[in-house]
Amino acid sequence: MQVFFLHFFIFFSQLSYIDMGVEFMSHIIHYVTTNFKKIFHTVCTEIISCIQGTALHFVLVAAFLGTLNHFLYFLSGQSPIIALFCPVNESVWEHLKLLYFPFLFVSIWEYLSLHPVVLPFFYCRYLGVLLGMFFTVSVFYTYSGILGRNFLILDILLFYSSVIFSFGMSEYISGKTRSPHETEPGFVVSLWLITSFFFFVFTCFPPDLPLFYSA
């Protein structure tokens, strides 16, 4: 009998937590929906103000290279070398390459053109693209979870939004974050190399996780 009441108590305790969670989420959803225009305007204003430090053509080239990157693997005849830098299937992980590698190549071009201080520049660029990839994954799973599936037009808009978001966050961080000291070049280089290495390895040996499943 005691065991029965214990399970009964646990069951209703869980229900109360679920009700609290549902009520909390309903408040969040209500706030977002009633203030969506204000929130959207504030976010866009902040990103635009941050991205002004980056020449527009760098952003456009990154977006163009990312678009081209989507088709390059098949246009190359499925080259194993190209496969390391381009999506080889329709998984979310593989499509992060559309953002990461074009962003890296454009950042190198931007550095060679404008000659900013090398370590702070590439450190902030790395944090920017890292946040951009997190933005991509979180928004994709949020909207596809709510709608029950993904839509091509929303995926395309999400990619271009992620490019803008990455550059914007990079510029924002460059004005807010203390960058690595000049005696630590290996740290900044290793960030890019390790992330690239993970892309290479998981292209050849994808883990058995939903992030790596081909749609």
**pLDDT higher for 29 or 59?**
59
By C-alpha distance, which of 176, 177, 164, 171 is closest to 44? 164
Q: Which of 53-57, 107-111, 177-181 has the lowest mean pLDDT?
A: 177-181
pTM of this prediction? 0.75
| H helix intervals, the chain | 2-34, 36-51, 56-75, 80-83, 92-95, 97-114, 118-147, 152-176, 185-204
The pLDDT assigned to 70 comes to 93
pLDDT single digits (tens) 60-87 = 999 999 999 999 999 999 999 999 999 9
pLDDT single digits (tens) 104-144 = 999 999 999 988 888 888 998 999 999 999 999 999 999 99
The pLDDT assigned to 92 comes to 95
Residue 35's φ and ψ, nearest 5 degrees, are -115, 20
Contact indicator for 192, 104 with CB cutoff of 8 Å: yes
